[in-house]
Chains A and B, each alone.
Chain A
Amino acid sequence: MLVIVTASSSCDIGQSFMALVNYAKKEIQFKIVYYGCGLCGKTTNLQLIHERAPSKSKGNLTSLATSQDRTLFFDFLPLQTTAIEGFVTKFQMYTVPGQVKYNSTRRLVLRNCDGVVFCVDSQFEKMAENTESLENLRENLKLQKDELDEMPYVIQYNKRDLLNVAPQEYIDYLLNNGSSKIPTFMASAKLGDGVLETLNGVAKLVLQDFIQKYNS
C-alpha cells in the first residue's frame, strides 16, 4: 500500500526566519536552496560546486539519497567566504527532493531560506514539470509567509548541452513572465557550464538583500 504523507495546510511551519548574524563570532550564515522538478540537475550543481570549490572554502557534500541516487531528503554543502567585510560569511547550500511525492520534505528544507535557485530542465518534454514545480515553490513559500517575487531568486536553464532543449525565449515565456525579469543563467551542470555563474548570481542577490534590509 502506498501511503503519501502530506502535511495539512494548517501545519504550523512558523514564520520565515532568515540570516543568522553572530556578532561575537563575527559570523553570518545564509541558506540557499536549489529547487526544481525531479532529475533537473539540482544535485549535479552541488556536486560540481563541491568538486571545484577551493578546499578551504567548502565542507563535505552530504546527500540523503535513495539507493537509486535520487534525493530523498536533501543534499547539503556548507560554503564559506569573506563576502562581507569583517565577517566570515557562511552559505549553507541545500537541494530539495524533486519528486512530486516529497512535498512535505521540500517544505521542511525551504524553512528559513534566504535565497532560491530554481533549476529548470530545458528539455521540451519537461516544461509541464518545470511549471508545476515553480507553482509548487510559490505555494510552499506562501505557507511560510514568503513571496517568491520578493526574495532573492534566480533561474538556471540547465541541460543546455542536450539536443531537444526549448529556446530561452520559450522558457522565459513560461517561467519568467512577471513584470520584473528574474536573472537567468544558461547552464549544463553536467559539463560544469554556468554553475559558478548561477551560484555567484544568487549569492550576490542574497547579500544585497541582506545589506539593503539591515544597513538602513
Chain B
Amino acid sequence: MAFILQPEEYNIIKGDLDVFLNNSEARTVMLCDRGGNVIADSGEEVTGAVDLVTALVAGAYAATKELAMVLGEDEFNAIFHQGDQTSIFMSSIGEEVLLLAVFSDETNAGLVKMYATSTCRKIHSLVDEVMTRSEVSISDPTQSFVITKGNVFQFEDGS
C-alpha cells in the first residue's frame, strides 16, 4: 500500500498550510505521516533537516501515545514543546497524519494552536480520502514507474 498524493491534492494542502502560516505567524509548518515521511511543508526552510525533524516528530508522537495509553488515554492528540526562542506544536490529523508547527516568541502558543486546530479539521477529510483511495492501484497508464538500471546506491570510492 502507498500514500499517493496527486498534484491537485498537494496544492490544496499546501494552500491550507500557507494560510495557516499567514494567520498564526508561525515560522514553518510540516505535514508528515506517522512513519515520519514528509507529505508537505511550508514556510522557512529547516535547512537540510526536514526529513530528520519529521522522523523525530513521528517518534516523539508515537512514544507519547504509549505514555497516554499507560495513563488511560487513547493518545494526546496535541503536544506542545516550549523553548526559549523556538517552540513546536504537534497535532494529529486522523489515524495517519501529523501536523507540526514551528514558531518563535514573536507569536504565541494559543494563536498557533487555534489556527492549527482549524487547519487540521480542514485537511482531515482530504487526507481520509487519499488514504481510502490509496488502496487501489494506479490505473493511469502514463503514471507507470520505471527503475533505472544498475545499483541503487554507490559509495564514494566507486564500489
Contacts and interface: CB of A to CB of B under 8 A. Distances in A.
- The finding on whether chains A and B are genuine partners in a shared complex, rather than unrelated, reads yes
A85 B51 contact: no
Nearest to A11: B69
Nearest to B55: A76
A103 B56 CA distance: 18
Contacts of B147: 83-85, 204, 207-208, 211
Interface stretch (B19-27, B98-106, B110-118, B149-157): B149-157
Contacts of B151: 196, 200
A196 B159 contact: yes
A59 to B, nearest CB: 6
A136 interface: no
Contacts of A86: 146
B137 A216 contact: yes
Contacts of A31: 35-37
A24 B74 CA distance: 34
B13 to A, nearest CB: 9
Contact of B153 (A8, A28, A79, A211): A79
Contacts of A104: 66
Interface in B29-60: 33-40, 48-49, 51-52, 55-56, 58-59
Give the interface centre of A22, A79, A81, A215 by most chain B CB atoms within 10 Å: A22
B38 A29 contact: yes
Binding site secondary structure of chain A: mixed
Interface residues of A, number: 65
Give the interface centre of B39, B59, B66, B145 by most chain A CB atoms within 10 Å: B145
A196 B39 contact: no
A85 B48 CA distance: 23
Contact of A76 (B14, B34, B52, B145): B52
Interface string A76-100: 1011011111110110101000000
Contact of B152 (A5, A12, A20, A81): A81
A92 B55 CA distance: 9
Contact of B51 (A59, A108, A111, A207): A59
Contact of B95 (A14, A52, A196): A14
Contacts of A22: 5, 10, 39-40
B7 interface: yes
Interface of B: 1-7, 10-11, 14, 33-40, 48-49, 51-52, 55-56, 58-59, 62-63, 66, 69-70, 74, 95-96, 131, 137-138, 143-148, 151-157, 159
The 3 closest A-B CB pairs, nearest first, are A112-B35, A24-B10, A203-B152
